[in-house]
């Protein structure tokens, strides 16, 4: 039987449906991504700290050399200041560990215009009346002292002004002795000129000896090179501190020759192991690990 209402209107009933919308949670799942990134970063950070703790100085040096940028140009000038016009000029660029900076330094020489003597007069000083040459000898000694002092000052300033070597200022010690001027290159607590237990120079050591060579090649004095170690136990019967100190001294000789120091000027290369300590109160101090370069005073002519 048909519905009475349908029969009257003849239209189908209208049905209304209501849908309830549920709002999405704030920010969706973005916080999970951010948190995951944070945890990953922290894991990488602690992994880095662990790696720094377990790697040796030699390994750190090798990693530093591997990532060293190419084509970095560092040019400094040493005019003015302490040297008061002494020319100190960096040439070229520090391209890699194999091309340390080059320095050209103007060093006064015997027979220069400053001393008022010619080369012949330098080689054959005139005797005073009565055959006394003490006046000439004294003047010659004064000129040599001035020459060595100028070289020492130039070396100190070169290390101060070259960024790559600034931290090596405490590694350079210079003293005047009756024999001549001694340049001592010592290790620091966290800075070594040679790789651990090896005669191979570190990157910084190579740069430092390149600067020293640039200054030494302007001087006429003979050179004596001596290697030293501390008294810590090292090696065995076939390779001990004696061999290590001698090999390091020989490495310095080859490095000076590499940077154009006349090989004939090197008259002695030796190693003393730990027999001549710089810091006698602490036999294993890194300062005892050093190489000495002695510029021998020129002998007086009879």
| pLDDT (mean) for 1-29 | 66
How many structural domains comprise the chain? Answer: 1
5 within a domain of the structure (yes/no): no
Rank 22-36, 123-137, 226-240, 279-293 by mean pLDDT and report only the highest: 279-293
Distance, CA of 41 to CA of 36 (rounded, Å): 9
Phi first, then psi: give them for residue 232, nearest 5 degrees.
-70, 150
Does 93 have pLDDT greater than 50?
no
Long-range contacts for 257-262 (Cβ within 8 Å, ≥24 apart)? Answer: 258/213, 259/102, 259/209, 259/210, 259/213, 259/214, 259/217, 260/213, 260/217, 261/213, 261/216, 261/217, 261/223, 262/217
pLDDT of 9 reads 58
pLDDT of 138 reads 78
Q: What is the largest CA-CA distance in the chain?
A: 162
Lookup: tokens for 174: 């210079």
Angle at CA of residue 161, ends 160 and 165, nearest 5°: 60
Rank 149-153, 164-168, 296-300 by mean pLDDT and report only the highest: 149-153
Q: Which residue has the higher pLDDT, 253 or 73?
A: 253
281 within a domain of the structure (yes/no): yes
pLDDT of 66 reads 67
- Partners of 293 in the beta sheet? 183, 225
Angle at CA of residue 226, ends 225 and 228, nearest 5°: 150
126 within a domain of the structure (yes/no): no
Kindly write down the DSSP assignment for every residue of 7-73, as one continuous string.
Answer: HHH--PPP-----PPPPPPTTTTHHHHHHHHHHHHHHHHHHHHHHHHHS-HHHHHHHHHHTPPSSB-
Does 236 have pLDDT greater than 80?
no
Whether 193 contacts 291, CB under 8 Å: yes
State the chain's mean pLDDT as an integer.
76
Look at 16-25, 114-123, 130-139, 248-257 and tell me which has the smallest mean pLDDT: 114-123
23 within a domain of the structure (yes/no): no
Q: Confidence band (pLDDT; 50, 70, 90) for 52?
A: confident
pTM for the complete prediction? 0.59
Q: Confidence band (pLDDT; 50, 70, 90) for 298?
A: confident
CATH of the domain at 180: 3.30.1330.60
Lookup: tokens for 73: 């140009």
pLDDT of 19 reads 76
Share of the chain above pLDDT 90, in %: 38
Does 158 have pLDDT greater than 80?
yes
What is the total residue count of the chain?
Answer: 302
Residue with tokens 């501190």: 241
Cα-based distances in Å from 17 to 5, 6, 195: 22, 21, 84
The whole domain housing 110 covers 74-118+137-296
Reported as a single tens digit per residue, the pLDDT across 258-296 is 999 999 999 999 999 999 999 999 999 999 999 999 999
Distance, CA of 124 to CA of 31 (rounded, Å): 89
Residue 102 has, within 13 A of its CA and on its CB side, a CA count of 11
27 within a domain of the structure (yes/no): no
50 within a domain of the structure (yes/no): no
pLDDT of 85 reads 35
Q: Which residue has the higher pLDDT, 31 or 96?
A: 31
pLDDT of 97 reads 44
pLDDT of 56 reads 79
Long-range contacts for 136-139 (Cβ within 8 Å, ≥24 apart)? Answer: 137/300, 139/115
6 within a domain of the structure (yes/no): no
pLDDT of 127 reads 44
Lookup: tokens for 1: 């039987």
Q: Which residue has the higher pLDDT, 125 or 48?
A: 48
155 within a domain of the structure (yes/no): yes
Does 234 have pLDDT greater than 70?
yes
| pLDDT (mean) for 155-180 | 87
């Amino acid at each position: 039987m048909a519905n009475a209402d349908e029969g009257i209107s003849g239209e189908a009933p209208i049905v209304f449906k209501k849908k309830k919308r549920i709002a999405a949670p704030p920010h969706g799942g973005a916080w999970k991504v951010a948190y995951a990134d944070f945890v990953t970063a922290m894991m990488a950070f602690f992994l880095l700290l662990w790696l720094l703790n377990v790697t040796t100085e030699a390994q750190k040096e090798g990693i530093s050399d591997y990532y060293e940028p190419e084509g970095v140009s560092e040019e400094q000038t040493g005019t003015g200041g302490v040297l008061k016009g002494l020319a100190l000029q960096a040439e070229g660029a520090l391209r890699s560990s194999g091309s340390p900076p080059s320095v050209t330094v103007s060093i006064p020489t015997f027979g220069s215009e400053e001393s008022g003597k010619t080369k012949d007069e330098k080689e054959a000083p005139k005797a005073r009346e009565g055959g006394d040459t003490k006046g000439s000898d004294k003047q010659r000694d004064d000129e040599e002292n001035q020459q060595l002092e100028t070289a020492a000052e130039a070396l100190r300033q070169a290390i101060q002004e070259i960024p790559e070597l600034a931290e090596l200022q405490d590694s350079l010690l210079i003293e005047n002795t009756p024999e001549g001027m001694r340049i001592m290159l010592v290790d620091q607590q966290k800075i070594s000129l040679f790789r651990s237990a090896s005669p191979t120079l570190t990157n910084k050591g190579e740069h430092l000896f390149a600067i020293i060579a640039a200054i030494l090649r302007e001087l006429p004095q003979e050179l004596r090179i001596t290697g030293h170690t501390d008294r810590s136990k090292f090696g065995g019967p076939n390779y001990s501190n004696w061999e290590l100190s001698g090999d390091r001294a020989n490495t310095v000789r080859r490095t000076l020759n590499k940077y154009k120091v006349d090989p004939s000027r090197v008259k002695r290369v030796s190693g003393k192991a730990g027999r001549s300590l710089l810091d006698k109160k602490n036999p294993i101090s890194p300062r005892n690990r050093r190489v000495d370069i002695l510029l021998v005073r020129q002998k007086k002519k009879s």
